[in-house]
Amino acid sequence: MNALPRPFADWFDTRGWQIHPHQQEMLSRASESTLLLIAPTGGGKTLAGFLPSLVELADGAHKGLHTLYVSPLKALASDIKRNLRTPVDEMGLPIRIEDRTGDTSYTTKRRQRADPPHILLTTPESLALLTSYEDAPRIFAGLSRVIIDEIHALEDSKRGDQLMLALSRLETLAPGLRRVGLSATVEDPGRIAHALARQPDPCRILTADPGPEPDISMLVTEEKPPWSGGGAAYAIPAVLDLVKQHRTTLIFHNTRAQAEIFFHNLWLANDDSLPIGIHHGSLDRQQREAVEAAMVRGDLRAIVCTGSLDLGIDWGDVDLVIQIGAPKNVKRLIQRIGRANHRYNAPSKAVLVPANRFEIVECVAALDAAKAGDLDGDPKGPGPRDVLCQHILICACAGPFDAEALFREVRTVGAFAGLSRAAFDDCLDFCATGGYALRAYDKWQRLKQVDGLWQLRDPRSAQRIRMNIGTIQDTDTLKVRYRGSFKPLGEVEEAFAATLTPGDTFLIGGQVVRYEGLREMTVEVSRRADRKPKIATFMGTKFATSTQLSARILEMFRQDSWPDLPGHTQDWLTLQREVSKLPEANRILFESFIYDGRPHSCIYGFAGRNAQQTLGLLLTQRMEAEGTAPLGFVSTDYATLIWSVEPVTDPVPLFDPDQLRENFDTWLRGNAVMKRTFRASATIAGLIERRTPQSKKTGKQATFSSDILFDTLSKYDPDHLMLRITREEALRGLVDFGRIEEMLSRTGGHIDHVKTARLTPLAAPLLLEAGRVPFAGEGRERLLEAAAERAITEAGLAP
């Protein structure tokens, strides 16, 4: 066992600290090729990761880059720099530590390439960019260790795949590079270990003491939660009480829109003027930094936040975490709870606040799962090929490469270990020629082969490729600012901005603003004293309830009674059982009733929001074919409600798996969600350039919708690589057909058709749900014509 060297042992003593067993073990095993440390937040995880580097660098002998630290958040990189400075300065160690992110200045970045620090703190995107430079071999020559923080947050995303591809590059540039992963508690450490290690190298997993059990409860208020929606406004007084009783509270929301609404309502009720801030990804960076600084100083009693605070920035004295709305995913819940009480031995305290009646059921199921340590995770598919395409282009920027060598290098990445040479060649061909079947770019290839090595045909394309590095899909957003001011307030999605009419009021940064107009791609607003905004939501992805959590809810439904649930919720479920029945895991419940003079069908699939949405799209098509003339549908995590002109008499044929799959294939070609999926993959793979050197000058007129590319490819080249990738992606994510398959196999297609005279208790909340989707067909054309006619009449003109 390596004893702690002198200055380190003394430093620990001065502080009165004991080295944690897992920190000691990380030090003892520092020479192993790959280590994965699983530790709870506040367990001294980061120091455990850095200790071996500090020890190795203490004698000042190492020249150049020694340790690369990669974190998913820019803020985390700068936070770590601050925290790492303390021991280094106090021990007087000759170690240079710098960070490098999208926010780092151009001059600093240039200097870092010429003269890298001993420890460089960065993000996956900045690292990918570094590897694209011709001098990458020199920058990374002496690299000895790479530490990936919060690896659990990266591992199942394309950012993680890109990062691991970059590591395979680094391995070639700096052979013998040691890898260290730091992770929060996860359901399957072996999976992360596989992703982290160079294949076929092994990875040792170290687990720290998980600390005391967290103290989690569900908020039960006098006032009953509403039937639907996610605002949880009913809970404001109770939440304010909790804030008063604690030092610092984090109030987590699932979407930015909900965070904004809640923050607004919280301030309206904040009679004691408690200092409360808001933090989410759509806010301007300066605003976010101001809130972060206030938090570090201990000036805030609470922060209303979203996933932007999910990860390990040390906020000091947080002693309560409140989760508004069902957590949808137990793993995320556990990680959020870990944000409270960073001191190792105090239990984390958390309160769940269900936003509506159904979420009470979901929260209780999540509590049970959290107590049982039953974390959820979906199986990971093979490495995404759009990310591989981008990697190939990045490699080409750095210099000529040999296809066989690159192929072997890529296969050392866990996610790509099973990649075939043919699949790799497909990606290479796509990067080089576009990979088109019917017509080729003979003269204007992007990559060409010279003396057996692949290189850029036009060196100028390196700049364009570098400008488009990254896998994060920022939806097209527009900056928001006050008219006549240059200070940005934040961002809204372009699609949301398009729905605004001057005079409309909406929330941003906790303030009600009035939309004035669009100027040079900036949304101009003015201040409003209104208490209620007219339009409260801007869009944002909603998480789908995980498969495991859905299964727990269905399991709960089998109970004879529900003593753990509040009385009103017990009554609701009991009434559903009397009037219709409760959904079961191995059957699909299909309810038919007349509401508001129209036949309605409610299908309980418990497949999660995205898959229920897809199911709605597919079933309405099947119903159109069967002549029931659907008019529209709405979906939640557990059910889809469809209204139509004619009632459904026999639902069984609607669910024929082969028919559904065939419909799915046809539907994929014309579907908006599919087009979004295509746009995401095509952007990552380099077919669509988000940024070009000229893009600032050219207006909207020069750009055209990616939908046109999708339609053109579908028509002329249906087997093109990008379409194959899109179909693969559609099994997950927004389309999530994989979970429809899961539902069909779980139920074996068994359907319980229940006809009732009126609306059933469980279906009632769906009527209030936002996000109704009209059925697009001949009926839609008629609606459009009617709207145009009304507009003409309103304008006082003859049609």
Partner 1 sequence: MNASTIPLCDIPLMARPAGTLWQPGARALCVSDLHLGKSDRLARAGGALLPPYENLETLSRLSDEVEATQPEIVICLGDSFDDMDGATSLDDDCRDLLLRMQAGRRWIWIEGNHDPGPISVGGEHLGSVSFEGLTYRHIAEPGAVGEISGHFHPKLAVPGGGVARRCFVWDGRRCILPAFGAYTGGLSALSPPIRTLFGTEAFAVLTGRRPLKVPLISDGHRRSSRPRQGSAYRSG
Interface with partner 1 in residues 235-274 (CB under 8 A): none
Tokens of 149: 């923080």
Burial status of residue 172 (CB atoms within 10 A of its CB: 0-12, 13-18, 19 or more) = middle
Among 117, 160, 229, 383, binds partner 1 (CB under 8 A): 229
For the CB of residue 381, give the shortest distance to partner 1 in the complex, in Å. Answer: 26
Among 1, 422, 498, 529, binds partner 1 (CB under 8 A): 498
Kindly state whether residue 277 participates in binding partner 1, applying the rule CB under 8 A: no
d(CA 47, CA 154): 20
Among 509, 533, 566, 765, binds partner 1 (CB under 8 A): 533
Q: Could you tell me if 513 and 526 are in contact, meaning their C-beta atoms sit under 8 angstroms apart?
A: yes
Kindly state whether residue 526 participates in binding partner 1, applying the rule CB under 8 A: no
Kindly state whether residue 17 participates in binding partner 1, applying the rule CB under 8 A: no
Kindly state whether residue 724 participates in binding partner 1, applying the rule CB under 8 A: no
d(CA 66, CA 175): 13
Stretch binding partner 1 (CB under 8 A), from 471-479, 560-568, 570-578, 771-779: 771-779
d(CA 30, CA 697): 52
Closest C-alpha to 723, from 664, 686, 677: 677
Kindly state whether residue 719 participates in binding partner 1, applying the rule CB under 8 A: no
For the CB of residue 329, give the shortest distance to partner 1 in the complex, in Å. Answer: 23
For the CB of residue 527, give the shortest distance to partner 1 in the complex, in Å. Answer: 18
Kindly state whether residue 708 participates in binding partner 1, applying the rule CB under 8 A: yes
d(CA 357, CA 152): 32
d(CA 416, CA 195): 9
Kindly state whether residue 534 participates in binding partner 1, applying the rule CB under 8 A: yes
- R_g of the chain computed on alpha carbons: 28
Tokens of 308: 């932007």
d(CA 397, CA 390): 11
Q: Could you tell me if 360 and 352 are in contact, meaning their C-beta atoms sit under 8 angstroms apart?
A: no
For the CB of residue 517, give the shortest distance to partner 1 in the complex, in Å. Answer: 7
Q: Identify residues 352-391 at the interface with partner 1 (CB under 8 A).
A: 355
d(CA 753, CA 650): 8
Query: Considering beta carbons, is residue 452 or 503 the nearer one to partner 1?
Result: 503
d(CA 487, CA 481): 6
Kindly state whether residue 460 participates in binding partner 1, applying the rule CB under 8 A: yes
| Residue that the structure tokens 């409760």 belong to | 582
Among 713, 721, 744, 766, binds partner 1 (CB under 8 A): 713
For the CB of residue 640, give the shortest distance to partner 1 in the complex, in Å. Answer: 16
Query: Considering beta carbons, is residue 2 or 705 the nearer one to partner 1?
Result: 705
Kindly state whether residue 772 participates in binding partner 1, applying the rule CB under 8 A: yes
Among 159, 288, 446, 600, binds partner 1 (CB under 8 A): 446
Beta strands in 612-750 (DSSP E): 630-635, 639-644
Kindly state whether residue 297 participates in binding partner 1, applying the rule CB under 8 A: no
Kindly state whether residue 219 participates in binding partner 1, applying the rule CB under 8 A: no
Kindly state whether residue 704 participates in binding partner 1, applying the rule CB under 8 A: yes
Among 349, 357, 720, 746, binds partner 1 (CB under 8 A): 720
Kindly state whether residue 701 participates in binding partner 1, applying the rule CB under 8 A: yes
Q: Identify residues 677-696 at the interface with partner 1 (CB under 8 A).
A: 686-689, 692
Angle at 137 (CA atoms; ends 135, 140), nearest 5 degrees: 105
Kindly state whether residue 464 participates in binding partner 1, applying the rule CB under 8 A: yes
For the CB of residue 594, give the shortest distance to partner 1 in the complex, in Å. Answer: 22
Q: Could you tell me if 226 and 75 are in contact, meaning their C-beta atoms sit under 8 angstroms apart?
A: no
Q: Identify residues 159-198 at the interface with partner 1 (CB under 8 A).
A: none
CA diameter of the chain: 91
Residue type for position 740: I
Helices 256-269 and 236-245, interaxial angle, to 10°? 80
Query: Considering beta carbons, is residue 665 or 785 the nearer one to partner 1?
Result: 785
Q: Could you tell me if 376 and 547 are in contact, meaning their C-beta atoms sit under 8 angstroms apart?
A: yes
Among 501, 563, 596, 697, binds partner 1 (CB under 8 A): 501
Kindly state whether residue 231 participates in binding partner 1, applying the rule CB under 8 A: yes
Kindly state whether residue 434 participates in binding partner 1, applying the rule CB under 8 A: yes
Closest C-alpha to 236, from 256, 219, 248: 219
Stretch binding partner 1 (CB under 8 A), from 50-58, 192-200, 499-507, 759-767: 499-507
**Number of residues in contact with partner 1, rule: CB under 8 A?**
74
Tokens of 400: 């000529």
- State the sign of the Cα–Cα–Cα–Cα dihedral 274, 275, 276, 282: positive
Kindly state whether residue 757 participates in binding partner 1, applying the rule CB under 8 A: no
